Amino acid sequence: MSWLTAEEALQALKTKPQTLYANVSRGRIRAKADPADPRRSLYQAADVQRLAERHAGRRKTETVAAEAIRWGDPVLSSAISTIIGGRLFYRGKDAAGFAEAATLEQTAALLWNGAETLSSGSGTEHASPSLQAAFLALAGRVTSDLPSLGRSQAALRREASGVLRTVAEALAPGPFDQPLHLRLAASWQRPDAADCLRRALVLLADHELNASTFAARVTASAGAALSAAVLSGLATLTGPLHGAAWQGVDALIETASALGGEQAIRRTLAQGNRLSAFGHPLYPDGDVRALALLSHFPLPPQFAEVREVGEEMVGEKVNVDFALAAMAAAFDLPREAPIIIFSLARSAGWLAHAMEQIDSGELIRPRARYAGPALETDSRT
């Protein structure tokens, strides 16, 4: 990433310092502390350039539409969550503070703006958490659940509880009289991990309009069942640039075990590969979710080394993908634990966004700007 000083950013934007700071607070321009002088800030050059081009003159409607769907620009209004000033908020509540004591069930109730507890049932006590089982269970519901369009929010919240229960049966099997984090810890036979699992589930429950949440909202906007919206979100989450980014962290740690942290990071950067363990565009001063998790368990030595040398070499702090991978290693959880935790947690957020989208009554239908071969048209004289 290329960074600009305040003077350079102001010159490019041709604006006042107050406007620059306002764009940072709204997430339009990413910023971080200047390593040479912590009292000063540096500003992401690509963000500054984008805004400078935006203000250079009137743009065509299709240009505005195209830019609106790129990373960092707002697409939809939502009352569910936001990231402001490097802090994550759930319906106005600081998520890191909320995670100190809340469960995922309580977080779902908050995000859903009022909800019942998970539907009762017998539960499955002896199965192992399985992402494949979650896909199959959701797909089975899609063909039988009612479309969401034309139904009240109270009815949708009741159905959302059932959909979350379906996901929980696959990802945190266990008796329904226990909170999900205890069921997950018991299914992995790691009771000492229960509190960290609880915190992770709360911190990962929602994150504004990310890729998987947008996918869930698009599905819901067409009137599809809530289970279909969650299935869309889950499929999107499995991408290596989203919920599966922990695999890149594991690969970096594996290389560091053989070569040492510094050499592992040098090799990765020299090969032009992305370091998924560091940085987040919405948290210039560090991913608050990672900070909230990492303070509650001892880092395994290899992770501690990679964090120390990596933050110095890259100039970015570790993110929640690093924290999830480190937590799985610290408690000797199964290798796929990060994606299981992420999927279970984010299901609550997908359901909140699906219900909000349904309530808006709007279909999400972007247009494409054609860039293919010349069109064949009739020649007329």
What whole-number distance in Å separates Cα of residue 370 and Cα of residue 93? 43
- The catalytic residue among 280, 285, 296, 359 is 280
User: Counting every residue, how long is the chain?
Assistant: 381
Q: Residue 303 in contact with residue 249, Cβ under 8 Å? A: no
What whole-number distance in Å separates Cα of residue 6 and Cα of residue 244? 35
Is 207 noted as a catalytic residue in this protein? Answer: no
- The catalytic residue among 47, 145, 287, 321 is 321
Q: Where are the alpha helices (DSSP H) in the chain?
A: 6-13, 17-25, 45-54, 61-68, 95-98, 104-111, 131-142, 153-171, 180-187, 194-203, 211-221, 226-237, 246-259, 261-270, 288-294, 301-314, 320-330, 337-360
What whole-number distance in Å separates Cα of residue 330 and Cα of residue 74? 37
User: Residue 208 has which token pair?
Assistant: 């504004």
What whole-number distance in Å separates Cα of residue 319 and Cα of residue 297? 15
What is the DSSP annotation of 285-336?
Answer: T--HHHHHHHTTSPPPHHHHHHHHHHHHHHSS-B-HHHHHHHHHHHTT--TT
CA atoms within 13 A on the CB side of 306: 30
Within 10 angstroms of residue 18's Cβ, the number of other Cβ atoms is 8
Is 332 noted as a catalytic residue in this protein? Answer: no
Residues annotated catalytic, as ranges = 280, 321
